[in-house]
Amino acid sequence: MALLLLAGLQMLPQECFEAARVDGIHPLRVFWRVTLPLLKPTIVVAVIFRMLDALRVFDLFYILTSGSTDTMSMSVYARQQLFDFQSVGLGSAASTLLFMLIGLTTILFLKLGRSKKEDL
């Protein structure tokens, strides 16, 4: 997250900040009115990456809980159904549902993160 945001901050045009400094705008107002709107696409991409990592987590739960059924992610559940119980239908359905959930939330974040031309 920090590296993505740092890269986004380095890509911001400096002319906007110079103009704000010349106009005498308070630095906090510059952050809220200039920096944050310009960083919005970078923030959306960083949040999508973190969300994808959170939804696809497998190894952490599987190794730390030794495959316990008390705590499992959806990826662990799909693997358990596919390989341990040989329930191909249920495991495939869980995997497809996880894929659709990831795709839907990614599309939703992209739609919500899209800036309008009036905002710029």
Give the total number of structural domains in the chain: 2
SS3 106: helix
Look up residue 106 and give its two tokens.
Answer: 């990614």
- pLDDT band with cut points at 50, 70 and 90 for residue 60: confident
Q: Residue 55: which pLDDT band, with cuts at 50, 70 and 90?
A: confident
Q: How far apart are CA 68 and CA 52, in angstroms?
A: 23
Q: What is the mean pLDDT of the chain?
A: 84
Q: Evaluate whether residue 93 is within a structural domain.
A: yes
pTM over 0.85: no
Domain that holds residue 71: 56-120
* Upper half-sphere CA count for residue 13 (Cβ side, 13 Å): 7
Do 34 and 66 fall within a single domain? no
